[in-house]
Amino acid sequence: MSYTIYIADDEDSIRELIKNFLESDGYLVKAFRTGDDLLAAFFHAPADLVILDIMMPGTDGITICQKLREKTTVPIIMLTAKDSEFDYVRGITLGSDDYLTKPFRPTTLLMRVRSLLRRTELDKTSSGAEKLSDLTLGDLLFRQEKNEVSCKGVPLHLTQTELKLLTHMMCNAEKSYSREELLNEIWGFNNAVETRVTDETIRKIRKKLSSAGSRVRIETIWGFGYCLKVEGDEGE
């Protein structure tokens, strides 16, 4: 199967290097100088994977990533010249699947591309057996048909990453999850250095649960991770 990959990077040399390297591995590649051009092309004809530079003319890569995530679950790799933890965490929590800091080896990017596409195919083949049914926990309801979690009938407006993490925990309410376990289950990473991503995503979910007045809360297990609890259950 030939996969189509879209790239947006304003550096001509980087853009052409990535394009040529991926094409030599059999991928169909379209390269764009701006994220806005990529976004317009994607909504006309979607790709199987997207590679986005963060700093570009026009709309920045993180905002493009966010706009893509509002409509699609396509795998996204972010590129940046900044070795910034803030950019890393922000990019991942807004929905990117991986992150590379320039300069990087083309072979490293190729391995990340292969890994993400392989994971996407595994998700597709296992979806029939593992697809979530509707879930209820406290005042939260996950509707599989709508792919959303609501509190007392009002949608929480979660990002796809937040939705995946919350529903994963709803499937096993009151189970204790380590940060590393969640990182591996939700993002496919197993590097303990990157557990900050888990913490930031949990913070955003907590804020939305609190704003909705939910009885469901995410408790911190100090030195380990998190678990879901429903206020009032102990006495009911």
> Domain with 73 in it: what CATH number?
3.40.50.2300
Residues 164 and 177 in one domain: yes
- Domain housing 192: 132-235
User: How many domains does the chain divide into?
Assistant: 2
Contact in structure between 109 and 100 (CB atoms under 8 Å): yes
What is the residue-level pLDDT of the chain in tens, covering all 236 positions? Answer: 689 999 999 999 999 999 999 999 999 999 999 999 999 999 999 999 999 998 899 999 989 998 998 888 888 998 877 656 556 666 666 677 777 888 888 998 998 898 888 877 766 655 444 455 788 999 999 988 888 899 999 999 887 778 888 998 998 877 899 888 887 777 666 554 456 778 888 988 999 999 999 999 999 998 888 999 998 765 44
Identify the DSSP state of 192. G
| Domain boundary pick from 95, 113, 128 | 128
Q: Are residues 178 and 200 in the same domain?
A: yes
Is 121 found in the same domain as 61?
A: yes
Asked if 168 and 225 count as a contact pair (C-beta separation under 8 A), the reply is no
Is 118 found in the same domain as 45? Answer: yes
* Domain identity same for 96 and 178: no
∠ CA(153), CA(183), CA(223), 5° rounding?
A: 95
Identify whether residues 122 and 138 lie together within a single domain: no
